[in-house]
Structure 1
Amino acid sequence: MENTRLRNESDSNLSYTEVHSSQESSPGPINEYHNTRRYQRLEDHSASTTWFQTLVHLLKGNIGTGLLGLPLAVKNAGIVLGPLSLIVMGIIAVHCMDLLVKCANHFCQRDQRPFVDYGDAVMYGMQAAPSHWMRTHSIWGRRIVGFFLILTQLGFCCVYFVFLADNIKQVVEAANSTTNDCSYNKTVILTESMDSRLYMLAFLPFLVLLVFIRNLRYLSFLSLFANLTMLGGVILIYIYIAQNIPDPSHLSYVSSWRTYPLFFGTAIFAFEGIGVILPLENKMKIPHQFPVVLYVGMGIVTALYISMGTLGYLHFGDDIQSSITLNLPNCWLYQSVKLLYSFGIFITFALQFYVAAEIIVPAATSKVSDRWVLFVDLVTRTLLVCVTCFF
């Protein structure tokens, strides 16, 4: 992956902070990576990110369309089992993210490498396995992980295309019957507009221009603004669902085992940020700060998931729809939630796309001369966005 190189003692690429003498003599196993990986990425300040910028990206990468479907997920699990399951899934997700970073740091220290991506982590791990078959086929571990990362991240981007088109289409078609009165009204008269696929095509050129931003540092400003707009939309949703909560005694505490897989699928989709963990850590100026960023960021995300899913189901009960925005009153205040959230998803597209691009683009540009690198880079990004739009 195209990442900022690190300064080390032998070739002036690493600058270590002060460590205790007893730590310097330690072999640096995985569980001591907090002490051994205390360096700064100093070669290119413009490409490095601060802890705050990384936190913004982490929140942006995890808070997407999945959040809006969690009330329905809680319905499929039950008002008691749903929140408990989200807590367990949050703990597992954070543990896996932390373990992934520890493994990557271990291999960096062991092999004196500037960075390790997902494919490298799997390949080096298989090379150290006791099984001869795994050692001899380690390159396939790298290829399989790369393939599924591309599939997953571009799959998210496909969902974002649909979300953007459908939400803007709903706002446009309900515009004639949208009022300033936010009293709940189930009767919404829609005015037919153009097909959803035409809305997708309308977003295509703007998303292409967005993914031309190749530096996470520059993208962080847009990501912060998107977080603020999505925060505004989420606050409006919370204000509505926290009022006039009906008696929950009729709600199921534990739903049928037949619907629990539906909860699990929606919840797993909501925890969509693991694909951006290593790229974010690799871009940090001071990478040993990343564990704190990870725990704080994922703590916020998990608390948001649990509260949104629980309050949404408590308020709307069995009438909850696939996206909680569809249950909101048809007034301009709550229609603006769709617009605010759509802008946030628009920016999130670039962050999820970044992971797939960091795998595919270097492979494409490595086959051309230096004078064509930028051209091939931009063309590859354009084609990838068009493919997601097509699917």
Structure 2
Amino acid sequence: MDNEKKFQECRDTENGTKERDLQHATSDIGALLHIVKSSLGAGVLAMPFAFKNAGLLIGVIGSIFIGITVTHCTTLLVDSTQKLRKIFNRTNMTYADTVECAFIHGYKGKLKHHAFKARYMVNFFLFFTYYGVLIYYVLIISSTFKQITEEYFKISIDIRIYIAFLTLVLYPTSIIRFLKYLVPFSAVANICLMVALGMIFLQLFKDLPPLNSRPALQMPNQWPLFIATCFTSMEGIGTILPLENEMKNPLHLIHSSRLLYIGMVFSVFVNLFVGFFGYLKYGNDVAGVISLNLPEDWISECVKATVGLTVLLTYGLQMAAPMEVVWGELSKTKKKQNNLHYYILRSILIIGTIIIAILMPSIAGIIGVIGSLGFSMLGIFIPALIDLIYHSDDQSILRQIKNVCLLLFALFCAIVGFYYSVIQLIQDI
């Protein structure tokens, strides 16, 4: 396939020139709620562990810095997408569409040859990252119910047994294909998370030790795990373009109403709050998920059960991202695809998360790998690369320097964070 044909395919995709379906479009309030939900999920429960690897002072400064960086790079992605959509006469664009069209458009078309490679790179990191999140969810659920069971029945069973038996509960709720049938699950999950966080806050403020009882900063070789955990907790870039595509007023996302900034400020504040006081409360004894540190009383047990239920109900919704990547690529290679093929593939992916979690049952290690390699590339490196390429003809020196710094920072986080996360995984196996 020659370059001109590739260029034409990028321009003339299905429904590319039709108006948006305003009847089913998302309102500004709905979009704001989705932004908060995507950037404030189960990862917030790991923020005290992040502070454990940074210290109180570095934790606060680092959380704010990462929050600003994540928000800025998400803005770059949305802004580039909206501009490229006009150039290529598109109504909707995915993350992979954006990077592909940026390579075709930038540097006067000199990067056309690499457009499809860039698309595959984005799809790889989308699958790797969000499939990793699913494994993280499996470990949270299993660890939570293992602790509850052991506290009540006074028995000790390897967590791998809990992970295996989790399949019986996870599979029926995760095999559902259409998102509209998962709306009740998502609604209950949001309520459960808010209730759990409220009850956790009440526990954190009981008998808090003085600030000087915890270190202000940890050794720099621990910071990569802090950065990786922060990325996992605050990042929601994989869902931002699907949301922008369904908004009634997409320009309100980063212009006018600035919904992205409002949602991210709230998310960063909650993450920082939980991380700071969680580490202040439990110190070096803090677990990979803060709910596991709660005392053995009926209120704490309710919180743990609520957290486990929250993650369980969210698993099926999160499966949509890796399924979209894999199913979309398979649909291009095969002319005929039916429901049976879809459900077989979805079943394989579900069972795959169980198997990987059994082989690597480390919450801290898994979240480190996801954050360092996945979210640093998706959330920082690729948006900065898109902006650098899109503005290749009119970019100022300062903008170029800023984008290059973001690229280098993302690579540093990916390489160093991945290295230390793998060490953590090996130690915990």
Letter in 2 for 1:127: I
The alpha-carbon distance between structure 1 residues 361 and 222, as it changes in their structure 2 partners (threshold 3 A), is same
Q: State the distance in 1 between where 2:209 and 2:118 align.
A: 51
Mapping for residues 10-159 of structure 1, pairs under 5 Å: 13-14=18-19, 40-42=20-22, 45-46=23-24, 48-130=25-107, 134-159=111-136
Identity between Structure 1 and Structure 2 (%): 27
The alpha-carbon distance between structure 1 residues 49 and 214, as it changes in their structure 2 partners (threshold 3 A), is same
The answer to whether the 8 A contact 1:50-1:284 is kept is yes
Question: Does residue 1:169 correspond to 2:135, yes or no?
Answer: no
Mapping for residues 164-203 of structure 1, pairs under 5 Å: 164-176=141-153, 189-190=154-155, 192=157, 195-203=161-169
Q: State the distance in 2 between where 1:240 and 1:5 align.
A: 52
Q: Deviations over 1:59-78 (max 9, x none)?
A: 33333332122112112212
The alpha-carbon distance between structure 1 residues 299 and 222, as it changes in their structure 2 partners (threshold 3 A), is farther
The alpha-carbon distance between structure 1 residues 55 and 199, as it changes in their structure 2 partners (threshold 3 A), is farther
Residue ranges of structure 2 left out of the alignment (5+ in a row):
1-9, 357-429
Q: State the distance in 2 between where 1:249 and 1:114 align.
A: 55
Q: State the distance in 1 between where 2:252 and 2:109 align.
A: 37
Per the alignment, residue 279 of structure 1 pairs with: 242
Per the alignment, residue 295 of structure 2 pairs with: 329
Q: State the distance in 2 between where 1:175 and 1:55 align.
A: 40
Structure 2 residue aligned with 1:348, among 314, 336, 344?
314
Structure 1 residue aligned with 2:304, among 317, 330, 338?
338
Q: Number of residue pairs matched?
A: 340
Letter in 2 for 1:357: M
Q: Deviations over 1:211-242 (max 9, x none)?
A: x2234xx5444323211101100111100112
Per the alignment, residue 387 of structure 1 pairs with: 352
Structural RMSD (CA) = 2.6
Q: State the distance in 1 between where 2:231 and 2:143 align.
A: 22
The alpha-carbon distance between structure 1 residues 379 and 230, as it changes in their structure 2 partners (threshold 3 A), is same
The alpha-carbon distance between structure 1 residues 250 and 208, as it changes in their structure 2 partners (threshold 3 A), is closer
Q: State the distance in 2 between where 1:225 and 1:289 align.
A: 28
Per the alignment, residue 21 of structure 1 pairs with: none
Q: State the distance in 2 between where 1:389 and 1:281 align.
A: 32
The alpha-carbon distance between structure 1 residues 54 and 132, as it changes in their structure 2 partners (threshold 3 A), is closer
SS of match in other structure, 1:77: coil
Per the alignment, residue 258 of structure 1 pairs with: 221
The answer to whether the 8 A contact 1:173-1:193 is kept is no
Letter in 1 for 2:279: Y
Q: State the distance in 2 between where 1:348 and 1:58 align.
A: 16
Per the alignment, residue 407 of structure 2 pairs with: none
Letter in 1 for 2:251: H
Letter in 1 for 2:141: L
Q: Deviations over 1:280-336 (max 9, x none)?
A: 222334323333332222222111100001111122233323222222111121111
Question: Does residue 1:213 correspond to 2:190, yes or no?
Answer: no
TM-score w.r.t. the length of structure 1 is: 0.79
Letter in 2 for 1:376: H
The alpha-carbon distance between structure 1 residues 224 and 140, as it changes in their structure 2 partners (threshold 3 A), is same
The answer to whether the 8 A contact 1:365-1:376 is kept is no
The alpha-carbon distance between structure 1 residues 277 and 58, as it changes in their structure 2 partners (threshold 3 A), is same
TM-score w.r.t. the length of structure 2 is: 0.72
Per the alignment, residue 272 of structure 2 pairs with: 306
Q: Deviations over 1:14-54 (max 9, x none)?
A: 2xxxxxxxxxxxxxxxxxxxxxxxxx523xx45x4333443
SS of match in other structure, 2:221: coil
Q: Which 10-residue stretch deviates more, 131-140 or 227-236?
A: 131-140
Shift of 1:175: 1.9
Residue ranges of structure 1 left out of the alignment (5+ in a row):
15-39, 177-188
Q: State the distance in 2 between where 1:7 and 1:128 align.
A: 17
The alpha-carbon distance between structure 1 residues 152 and 78, as it changes in their structure 2 partners (threshold 3 A), is same
The answer to whether the 8 A contact 1:71-1:324 is kept is yes
The answer to whether the 8 A contact 2:134-2:318 is kept is yes
Q: Which 10-residue stretch deviates more, 118-127 or 130-139?
A: 130-139
The answer to whether the 8 A contact 1:57-1:223 is kept is no
Question: Does residue 1:204 correspond to 2:170, yes or no?
Answer: yes
Instruction: Name the one with the larger helix percent.
Output: 2
Q: State the distance in 2 between where 1:287 and 1:344 align.
A: 29
Q: Deviations over 1:238-270 (max 9, x none)?
A: 001122211221321122212222211221221
The answer to whether the 8 A contact 1:172-1:193 is kept is no
Question: Does residue 1:222 correspond to 2:199, yes or no?
Answer: no
